[in-house]
Chain A
Amino acid sequence: MKIICCIRPVPDPASRLVINESKTWIKDQDLSFVASESDNYALEEALRLKEKHGGEVVALSMGRESDAKLLRAALAMGADRAIHLVDQKFKGADEFATAEALAKAIEKDGGADAVLAGVQSDDLGSGATGVMIAGFLGWAHATIVIAVEASPESHKLTVKRELEAGLTETAEMSTPAVLTIQYGINQPRYASLKGIMAAKKKDFTVWTAADLGLETAGVGAAMVSVKEIHIPERTRKVEMISGTPEEAVTTLVEKLRKDAKVL
């Protein structure tokens, strides 16, 4: 099986996010970036499928040159090749422009049996990019996947999806397909020293927008323009209730009945 795993660079969750002067994004020049958390589970799942069925795992990412380290880390974990989409033009991409560029790269690399991506990124967090990639490629897709089994010889995948209210669904689908992988479905491995050494010799491709045949990309290809980002006002100012536990719960129940009208 050939599996392409998409990796989204996002600011390290520990970093302090500051809005930029034009209020269109955060000041990210000096921030350290990591792979979006759910992408780690997608990569681990891709590696496990390869170990079981043979084939290769290609790590694919769009971002700054300095984020090449995320792809190096994926190679060290066991991915066979990496493709990095780097171009000033990719800046300011929304989910649509990101998915379009990734889909073009997947096509240029000759397609795959499956594309795996995290269920949602830790920055935009919409969960849309993976589904859009499937839309651009015309492939089947499944979201919020918590288990995958592959039958490469019959071009089938069996996936388990998480639904609402504790329900899960098992579905059979044809390949090629795009799967978005839920948090926590496996235990992502650490790169071994051997893996880190081996990564240095692995194939690392860099493509620009022009390489993908994209005339417009990033902010130019985005379907929405960002007007402003801001810290949401805490419209709800918490009303702290004091007193002994008995007094406090009496006041609380009164407020829930008379003010909030929810009891």
Chain B
Amino acid sequence: MVLVIVEQSGEQSANRLSPATNELIAFAQRAGRDFGMPVAALVLGASTSHIVDELKTRKIDRLLNVDNPALAEYNPDGYVHAVQSVVAAIKPFLVATAHSVRGIDFMPRLSASLRQPFVAGCVEYEKIGDRLVLTRQIFNGKMNMKVEPRSAPPYFVTLSPGAFPGDGVELGAGAAIETMPVDFSGITNRRRILARSEVPKGQVDLSSASVIVSGGRGLKQKENFSLIFDLAKALNGAVGASRPVVDSEWLPREYQIGSSGQTVSPKLYFAVGISGAIQHLVGMQGARCIVAINKDPEAPIFKVAHYGIADDLFKVVPALTKLINDLKMG
């Protein structure tokens, strides 16, 4: 059995499926085929029926649900206990979830508690004979490492965003929903949420944006960021920024993409005037299509880009915005 723990958006347990869920299911469908195993999806939360209903449209063999008030808000104690109970009941080969704020908060704990292998941030896997070999990134993506679990299953893994594209997910007739009985008595949530501060109103959730236009130091000054906003508007996209932009207070912190900001995997990503420091690359290299516009043809951003224009952004960006707007009119 290949079991995926469904990723929900935001930190609230019971709101909506995150884009990472399609990636997880696409991964599980492929691994299930390769290893000749059924695919199971696990939904954890309270009042999860709408999420379960949405999942029914995907090709999944078993749809498992732990619906309990103890999981009304995400907490590692509740999650670890629930997953441990489900794993004991269904004995999966592989347990996967997203390499997200939530995934990295509970999966390593399961590995330590159960003394089972954990591989973080997988970008690829291979089946060699009957064995599973997983590829993960090390040294901020400068190198890849292939590892093989040393013990018997289950193996716990988190998947790097964008590594297993979700548009490959197979749809299918709904699997029957199995409610998993989990006893939460004696489980205390030791990390109780007091408050959550929301993004300022009107702010786009970059993690779900399909087009992102990001600007960097190459824009030279704050006022020039209007070029980025204009292009994003033309493309119905969101605006992002590299760290230097945020450190210089041209834009607030929530725009930052990269190692101390957000990780995004949009369909289309424009990097404008961004040199491509590794701290930025780790946050956006999962994008399906990356366009880099930078004066310096040697800038590292061109190493991860699909299309590049090595020219003056102050000429290229307005021309691009105008073209997109003209096409919309036509």
Report A's interface with B, CB cutoff 8 A. 17, 19, 26, 94-96, 99-100, 122-129, 131-136, 140-144, 158, 162-174, 177, 182-184, 222-232, 234, 236, 238-241, 245-246, 248-250, 252-253, 255-256, 260, 262-263
Contact = CB atoms under 8 A, between A and B. Distances in A.
A173 B190 contact: yes
Contacts of A96: 111-112, 117-118
Contacts of B70: none
Contact of B320 (A129, A177, A249): A249
Interface of B: 10-11, 76-77, 100-101, 104-113, 115-121, 133-134, 136-151, 190-199, 203, 205-208, 235, 253-254, 259-260, 262-263, 267-268, 288-292, 297, 302-312, 315-316, 319-320, 323-324, 327
Nearest to B144: A232
B307 A255 contact: yes
Chain B contact residues: helix, strand, loop or mixed: mixed
Given A125-B138, A134-B109, A165-B262, A225 B120 contact: no
A153 to B, nearest CB: 18
Nearest to A182: B260
A260 B306 contact: yes
**9 cross-chain pairs, A with B, having the tightest CB-CB distances, nearest first:** A135-B112, A166-B254, A126-B120, A128-B108, A140-B190, A223-B117, A131-B108, A224-B147, A135-B109
Given A125-B138, A164-B100, A232-B141, A170 B196 contact: yes
Given A127-B120, A226-B147, A249 B306 contact: no
A31 B199 CA distance: 43
A172 B259 contact: no
| Among A227, A231, A239, A250: residue with most chain B CB under 10 A | A227
B138 A262 contact: no
20 contacts: A17-B139, A96-B111, A124-B120, A124-B138, A127-B108, A128-B104, A132-B109, A135-B110, A164-B263, A165-B254, A166-B203, A169-B11, A182-B260, A229-B144, A230-B146, A232-B144, A236-B290, A238-B307, A248-B311, A262-B268
Given A17-B143, A168-B196, 5 more contacts: A96-B112, A128-B111, A183-B260, A240-B302, A248-B309
Contact of B199 (A131, A166, A245, A253): A166
A228 B120 CA distance: 16
B311 A238 contact: no
Contact of B194 (A128, A163, A170): A170
A245 B316 contact: yes
Contact of B104 (A124, A143, A238, A252): A143
| Among A128, A140, A162: residue with most chain B CB under 10 A | A128
B101 A163 contact: yes
